[in-house]
Structure 1
Amino acid sequence: MYLRLSEEQKMVQQTIRKFVEKELIPLENEVLRNERAGKPGLSQEKLKELQIKAKESGFWGINTPAEFGGAELGQMMMAIVLMEVSKTFVPFKFGGTADNILYYANEEQKKKYLIPTINGEKKSCFAMTEPDAGSDTRNIKMMAVKDGNEWVLNGEKTFITGGNEADFVMVIAITDKEKHQSSGRDGVTCFIVDREMGWKSEYIDTMGEWGPAGLVFDNVRVPEENILGEINGGYNLGLEWIGFARWIVGARAIGSAERLLQMAIDYAKERKTFGKPIAERQAIQWQIADSAVEIEAAKWLVLNAAFTLDNGEDNRHLASIAKLYGSNMGNNVVDRVLQIHGGIGYTRELPIERWYREARLWRIYDGTDEIQRMIIARNLIKGNVKIGQFM
């Protein structure tokens, strides 16, 4: 057991950190102005410019297999990169990537969807959540009915990240109603559906800057060759997509919390009350100390979940732990940081209020707190995971 980053990992971490400090953080005021005017935080032109700069530094397809032109650095490195990038709220993603389940595509689908997505020529989204079916997949109602060599899809999906911009969606629909009703898991299939096939999206207004979409399918006809994976095998694909996304939420919370905590420390050393910096007040010191401890704990939970995945092991239990603790840690830290700043922290003069609104979402999407607790408890009660075992 060696609980330290390798020299290569440290080098990548420092390079990403410098990129964030030099290229992204200076854009924060511009992003805030755009968002408050109801515009996208960054234009597509600016995003592409940043991605080109990142690519020139060697960061393209960080976790994409080498056969598709990626760096294939692994999940641990992905976690470290996300922690650094999340130290800013500038909406930037390194290019050259695709959703993990899109790699299950057959050769024709890879040519048509996977490779163009990796190259940045197409955008995708994943859709499983419905108005009455979030984490409870038994309530999925979208139907796919076979008609010749096509499937006809009818139904709605909601809170779909990237749904307004996507060129195609990987959508879960019921293909065997009887199987689905009996188990709540079987009888669903994942389809790759181009926007031009007829589905529509509409923007959902939220309290934060996250702009999810509602998707509507009204007799959308999808050719049989657009089935992703196997018929009635959509549930496992959905689990794999969500399982990957869960510990990612924890990684993002860590990066944001580290930046926020540094803001609080800097402010506490400058702000004076009754003749002394508030950094000398025990009440402030305890909030800083508690935040630092929670960040460190979340960091190792996330890295453990990523390490387990790198080793080809099932990390779903660890991913739920990392997501539950990490998202709550992020909420705790941003709340303390706002409290330390007092009234000015509540204003839009500082970005704390923006992070405050964003952080509240971490405890909801990709599985709520309650769902993570249910999964963790169920694994322990059923004996799938033993107390005290190393994972």
Structure 2
Amino acid sequence: MDFALNDEQKMVQRTVRDFIKRELVPLESQVLRNERENRPGITREEVHALQNKAKEFGFWGINTPEEYGGANLGPVMTALIQMELGRTFVPFNFGGSADNILYFCNEEQKKRYLLPVIAGERRSCFAMTEPGAGSDAANIRMSAVKEGTEWILNGEKVFITNGNEADFAMVFAVTDKEKGARGGVTCFLVDRDMGWRSEYIHTMGEWGPASLVFENVRVPEENILGELGGGFNLGMQWIGQGRWLIPARAIGASERLLQMAIDYSQTRVTFGKPIADRQAIQWMIADSAVEIEATKWLVLRAAWLAEKGLDARHQSSMAKLFGTNMANRVVDRVLQIHGGMGYTKELPIERWYREMRLWRIFEGTDEIQRFIISRNLLRGHVKVGELLD
């Protein structure tokens, strides 16, 4: 059993960390100013410029297959990269990638959707969540009725990431009520100019999701992604692939925050001593370090299982449940250590505080993760005390 990173992993980790320190961290002050003026922290054009800089170092299409010009680094390397990206709140991801389910496009669809997304020419959004169907994806109500060679979509999707900026949406709609979710839901590729509209949803964080409204939107039959009735399985593949990525990012953010707390506690003096000498502060620092380390190995094990082609769902749920709650505890302690200054907008702690609260909700709430974990144990799919393999 070897827990050490190999030479390639160390090189990638160092390169990404250096890129973030050099290119992203210096943008943080400007991002905060822009967000406080109700403007995007960073523009799409600025992100593209940064992505092109990263491309010069080979960071393009991290998990994109080589046949599409990607590096195909795999889940473990992706987890390490996401940990590094989490060290800054500047909204950035390396370019050259596409939603995993877009690889189910047929050859004609690939030309219109997959390849332009990989090239950064088009932007997609995943539209499954509805007002009455969040974690309960089987409760989708958006309808798709066939008329000739077209499907007419009616309904609403909510809390859609990139929904305000997307050129097209991967929309899940009921095509056969009698078959239920697992055979009666279909995924459609729906261009914005087909008639759907997006409406900004204001949140407590800087994340600006959208509500997508479909009123008699006509979609050609050739825009079905995958198979008719195969939408539910596609949706679960999209959701499942990201669960261990969220706690991976939480690790990087929590490590950055913990270092801020350590630095501050050594310079902040009360009653003649640095607060780092106070046991109350020491325990908050110690607990945070232990929980970050535990999350790291949960995440890396989930990524390792995925890389080996094994079932990573149980481990991913545990990583997301523990990791996102860990991040919320860490940021709360760090704010407490900073006292009044932590509560102000002079420091980015309060921004992270608001952002991290979302991580316990999207792509499967805490309650859904607990349901999945307990169900696996109660049904005997996972045995207590046995390592997954």
- TM-score, normalised with respect to structure 1: 0.98
Question: Partners in 1 of 2:137 and 2:68 — Cα distance?
Answer: 33
Match of 2:11 in 1: 11
Question: How far did residue 137 of structure 1 move?
Answer: 2.3
Counterpart amino acid of residue 186 in structure 2: T
* Unaligned segments of structure 1, at least 5 residues: none
Match of 1:353 in 2: 350
Question: Partners in 2 of 1:132 and 1:103 — Cα distance?
Answer: 29
Question: How far did residue 300 of structure 1 move?
Answer: 0.8
Question: Partners in 2 of 1:230 and 1:314 — Cα distance?
Answer: 24
Match of 1:36 in 2: 36
Question: Partners in 1 of 2:95 and 2:6 — Cα distance?
Answer: 24
Question: How far did residue 45 of structure 1 move?
Answer: 2.5
Match status 1:364 vs 2:361: yes
Match of 1:45 in 2: 45
Question: Partners in 2 of 1:6 and 1:368 — Cα distance?
Answer: 34
Match of 1:156 in 2: 156
Question: How far did residue 186 of structure 1 move?
Answer: 2.9
Match of 1:67 in 2: 67
Question: Partners in 1 of 2:100 and 2:310 — Cα distance?
Answer: 16
Match status 1:330 vs 2:327: yes
Q: Tell me if structure 2 keeps the 8 A contact 1:79–1:248.
A: yes
Question: Partners in 1 of 2:88 and 2:11 — Cα distance?
Answer: 20
Counterpart amino acid of residue 332 in structure 2: D
Counterpart amino acid of residue 104 in structure 1: F
Question: Partners in 2 of 1:241 and 1:47 — Cα distance?
Answer: 24
Question: Partners in 2 of 1:41 and 1:241 — Cα distance?
Answer: 27
Match of 1:377 in 2: 374
Match of 1:343 in 2: 340
Question: Partners in 1 of 2:234 and 2:138 — Cα distance?
Answer: 16
Question: Partners in 1 of 2:174 and 2:186 — Cα distance?
Answer: 6
Counterpart amino acid of residue 64 in structure 2: T
Match of 1:106 in 2: 106
> Which aligned pairs between 1:239-278 and structure 2 lie closer than 5 A?
239-278=236-275
Match status 1:297 vs 2:302: no
Match of 1:129 in 2: 129
Moved over 3 A (4+): none
Q: Tell me if structure 1 keeps the 8 A contact 2:135–2:364.
A: yes
Question: Partners in 2 of 1:387 and 1:76 — Cα distance?
Answer: 25
Question: Partners in 1 of 2:74 and 2:24 — Cα distance?
Answer: 24
Question: Partners in 1 of 2:112 and 2:386 — Cα distance?
Answer: 44
Question: How far did residue 104 of structure 1 move?
Answer: 1.0
Question: Partners in 1 of 2:107 and 2:2 — Cα distance?
Answer: 40
* Unaligned segments of structure 2, at least 5 residues: none
Question: How far did residue 2 of structure 1 move?
Answer: 1.7
Residue 24 to residue 131, structure 1, CA distance change in 2 (3 Å): same
Post-superposition CA distance 1:27-80 (Å, at most 9, x none):
000000000000001122221221111001110111111100011100111110
Counterpart amino acid of residue 216 in structure 1: V
Match of 2:89 in 1: 89
Counterpart amino acid of residue 304 in structure 1: R
Aligned length: 388
Question: Partners in 2 of 1:92 and 1:357 — Cα distance?
Answer: 18
3-state SS in 2 of match to 1:211: coil
Question: Partners in 1 of 2:299 and 2:236 — Cα distance?
Answer: 18
Identity %: 70
Match status 1:208 vs 2:197: no
Match of 1:147 in 2: 147
Higher mean C-alpha displacement, 264-273 vs 303-312:
303-312
Question: How far did residue 319 of structure 1 move?
Answer: 1.1
Match of 2:305 in 1: 308
3-state SS in 2 of match to 1:201: strand
Post-superposition CA distance 1:362-391 (Å, at most 9, x none):
000001100100011011111111112212
Counterpart amino acid of residue 23 in structure 2: E
Question: Partners in 2 of 1:150 and 1:307 — Cα distance?
Answer: 43
Match of 1:188 in 2: 185
Question: Partners in 1 of 2:105 and 2:380 — Cα distance?
Answer: 34
Question: Partners in 2 of 1:174 and 1:4 — Cα distance?
Answer: 48
Question: Partners in 2 of 1:383 and 1:231 — Cα distance?
Answer: 33
3-state SS in 2 of match to 1:186: helix
Q: Tell me if structure 1 keeps the 8 A contact 2:182–2:230.
A: no
Counterpart amino acid of residue 271 in structure 1: R
Counterpart amino acid of residue 152 in structure 2: V
Question: Partners in 1 of 2:353 and 2:151 — Cα distance?
Answer: 43
Post-superposition CA distance 1:262-317 (Å, at most 9, x none):
00000000001111111111110110000000001101111111111111112111
3-state SS in 2 of match to 1:356: helix
Question: Partners in 1 of 2:6 and 2:269 — Cα distance?
Answer: 41
Q: Tell me if structure 2 keeps the 8 A contact 1:137–1:185.
A: no
